[in-house]
Structure 1
Amino acid sequence: MADLHIDDFYRDVAGILLSLYNGFPSPSILFVEDLIGPHEPDAFGVPAPRHLACFNAMLWMADEGFLRYSDSIRQEGLDQCSLTERAFLMLSTPAADWLDEALPASIARQRATPAQRLRDALASQSSTELAEIVQRCFARASVRR
């Protein structure tokens, strides 16, 4: 059985990290809908399961030290959200085995960052590639702890 919820989790993590990285170091409001699009609540106003999964990914990332925030906005998002130093270094430090020495140094350095690899994986829509890169990011971050 495919673990589709884990594929969604990896996609959410990539979106959350890149959203905060693209605005770093400024704190921002991070809305679930901006990451995964609109998902209508049920007849009782309970958010859709996919919406809740993305929101819970945000909270998990905060608990694990990848982001900080000042307050939650109901179950819609997080206010004054930013990457931690740990997450910033995880995303911006080039991986030696990803460096392409055939490219100019500045371009090679940029392309070897996990942030760029996450962008490329999201653009390719490859769940396998995205899973590998998110897992590698987590592994890099756990070494830094």
Structure 2
Amino acid sequence: MKRRFTQQADGIGVVAEINVTSLVDVAFTLLIIFMITAPILQGGIEVDLPEGVSAPLSAADALVVSIDADGQIYVDDAPVTWEEFDAALPLALDRFESDQVFLRADGDLALRQATRVMGRIQDAGAVLNIVTDPDPSRRSP
């Protein structure tokens, strides 16, 4: 049988165990905070991608151009107008080591707007990759 108390000089027993209750409380609180803030920190442009069969791609070293449902163009998460897009695209391509451009266009976007952006990307000499949603079951109804 273990001795849980140590004897002090004045005869009062002292508990010699570590109380981990407060440590567990802090750990669970931090876990909850991280679980709540992680989806918020992912950031990006909210785009409802069209369905399609595709393989996972790594866009870490490539430029991402997004078009939301309203037709707003984003070059690497920065909103630009159609007039600014022609100037912003070559500048953004120079920042990346790759000539790959990933286009994230909303599925409800008119094809005319998407093809205008695709044409400008190809005119800039970049390799165009269209991002689709490979798993339609991930979508919320």
TM-score with structure 1 setting the length: 0.23
TM-score with structure 2 setting the length: 0.24
Instruction: From the two aligned structures, give the one with the greater helix fraction.
Output: 1
